[in-house]
Structure 1
């Protein structure tokens, strides 16, 4: 991004940080960077901070980036190039996780994929991005498509306030984008202090129910997300919690998830074993499933790449 690019508004909401954030930002401002800097007098919590960012943003599109997630070099320009082509609801950016060094830990496989896929039907888009819609740092939202009568404050205290504007923009659009190349590096295992299953099980489904009952959104779309949560998100994170890889508040996963998902086969086949099996056995079994999943993902990405090369060859001829 060029220093004076007027297409981009940079807004930083400092949630009463105790480090030198203020000093760093003021140094950029002093060097003529156009930054709108807001410092909260007290920690207002992640949800309220996200909502403050969204409400304060003046652009047509909004990307809220967590403070330890990283936009890769050239990402802003590539995002702008996409946004200027059409009127999209949600642009989902491909990301990878890192623990210490986002450069050395960048995945070597599938990095050759470039460009993006445009989706004109919600089923296919949700199958592709599913629970990554809950990851605020990878979703560019068309603010102009968010329902005017949507009270976003009702989603506060869920740890998922951003799903309010994400789903609103998504369901009000017939064009959404998945960017195939890595544009975001996401810090792993850095968030904690919340109830994993309560947030992504109970709260998630309460938000789903709001859009089904009040905005007449077909429930099948949320079924796609729930199945993917049960297939990989819950098993992986429950096991990580049991292995003390991530730090979350103590809770009883079975008691929380059973009432929500007892009718789902995926709950019994994938999530339930992660809860009840000895943790090392659960970790081993999930590792095997995860390797198979990644191999399938690599194969599908390779097929996608070969199709793109074949198409380009035909165009050149």
Structure 2
């Protein structure tokens, strides 16, 4: 395949994270040896650190990195959009500079992309702190194919918000300019929605294939982005193939197993204004019983009671949506880390 039309573009929007970027590029170099159908693009948002040297070292090691360095910091949304727009591949993986594919993930992915059948391929992700191999939860390989875009979107839910988790078929939306979606911290969501609905056929690889550095992002209002703006994005794509029930399914699963942890962490760390967060959630979910009886107590109860309820809701919610294993694996690894010095 010619370098002008690779099967996959792995594009990495980066700013001031040379240490993490180095690890990501090293993993890509190991995973992509002897592949000539994948391009790697790093879009550097004018980093003041050693990012140029890290990219040069990866290039010297044989990784064919296309490097773009912005003259100034254009913001995260614009940098993500630039990555998508500059990608030459039929498919685009927007990979966080602190995230990386696990061993063998890209080979498994590329085997599916070669069919050029799917609008979006979703890869299950997990968080890690130090060693992505040791901290990877063990799961069996499962594949879920969908012939209706709405059913696929309902199945992956909040995973579409994570840029590293979704491989977008640019060949299904070839003339789309991602710059139009800047300004809401959810450029990637619009790309996933567009490609999934355009293609109809989509794939969810339900095994842990992407490792994400824990607690390494921020600078935004969680409720505004993941309730208000995310909800508006879903509403804007409502159509015959993506209806009210699909949207309610996504939001119901998020209220059960996604939002409780972040609200619990907000109260635990005394972050933000619980009443303001409650108002934002209420504007979208006021009439939903899951909000009133499952989420609102985490925000409105006195802090000790809120933490008790938040911990219970987080554990139970993860159990109900089938995502408890990831949390258990993380807790077990943390426990082993704490015990290791004592037994040395």
TM class by smaller structure? 0.7 to 0.9
CA contact (8 A) 1:122 1:221 kept: no
The answer for the alignment partner of 2:162 in structure 1 is 135
User: Equivalent residue of 1:62, what SS?
Assistant: strand
Question: Contact 1:193 / 1:248 at 8 angstroms: preserved in 2?
Answer: no
Which 10-residue stretch deviates more, 151-160 or 169-178? 151-160
Q: How many residues align?
A: 295
- 1:189-200 equivalence runs, <5 A: 189-200=215-226
Does the 8 Å contact 1:4/1:34 carry over to 2?
no
Segments of 4+ moved more than 6 angstroms: 247-251
Change (3 A) 1:191 1:300: closer
CA spacing shift, 1:250–1:69, aligned 2, 3 Å:
farther
- Where does residue 213 of structure 2 map in the other structure? 187
Report the RMSD for the aligned CA atoms in angstroms: 2.6
CA contact (8 A) 1:90 1:139 kept: yes
Aligned to 2:263: 238
State yes or no: 1:207 paired with 2:233: yes
- Whether contact under 8 Å (2:99, 2:164) holds in the other structure is yes
Alpha-carbon distance change, 227 to 20 in structure 1, aligned in 2, over 3 angstroms: same
Of 186, 191, 194, 1:168 maps to 194
Distance in 2, Cα, partners of 1:8 & 1:14: 19
Whether the 8 Å contact between 2:39 and 2:65 is mirrored in structure 1 is: yes
SS of aligned partner of 1:38: strand
Shift of 1:220: 2.8
Task: Give the alignment of 1:249-260 within 5 angstroms.
Answer: 252-260=276-284
Relative to 1, partners in 2 of residues 1:37 and 1:74: Cα closer, same or farther, differing over 3 Å? same
Runs of 5+ in structure 2 lacking a partner?
A: 1-30, 326-344
1:61–1:259 Cα change, 3 Å: same
1:212 shift after superposition: 2.8
On the 8 A contact 2:153/2:196 being kept in 1, the answer is no
Structure 1's 135 and 300: CA in aligned 2 closer, same or farther, altered over 3 A?
A: closer
Q: Does 1:44 align with 2:74?
A: yes
In 2: Cα distance, 1:283 partner to 1:167 partner: 35
Alignment of 1:81-92 (within 5 A): 81-92=111-122
Does the CA-based 8 Å contact 2:124-2:210 persist in structure 1?
yes
Match of 2:43 among 9, 13, 35: 13
Alpha-carbon separation, structure 2, partners of 1:78 and 1:183: 9
Distance 2:275 2:205 in 1: 36
How is 1:249-288 mapped onto 2 (pairs within 5 angstroms)?
Answer: 252-288=276-312
Normalising by structure 1, what TM-score? Answer: 0.84
SS at match of 2:209: strand
**Structure 2 CA distance for partners of 1:78 and 1:199, relative to 1, 3 Å:** same
Deviation at 1:283, TM superposition (A): 2.9
Q: Distance in 1 between matches of 2:266 and 2:310?
A: 14
Q: Secondary structure at the match of 2:206?
A: strand
Q: Give 1:24 shift.
A: 1.3
Shift of 1:10: 0.5
Query: Per-residue CA shift, 1:196-246, capped at 9, x if unaligned?
Result: 111111211222232238x9842332222222222232221122122128x
Question: By how many angstroms is 1:295 displaced?
Answer: 4.2
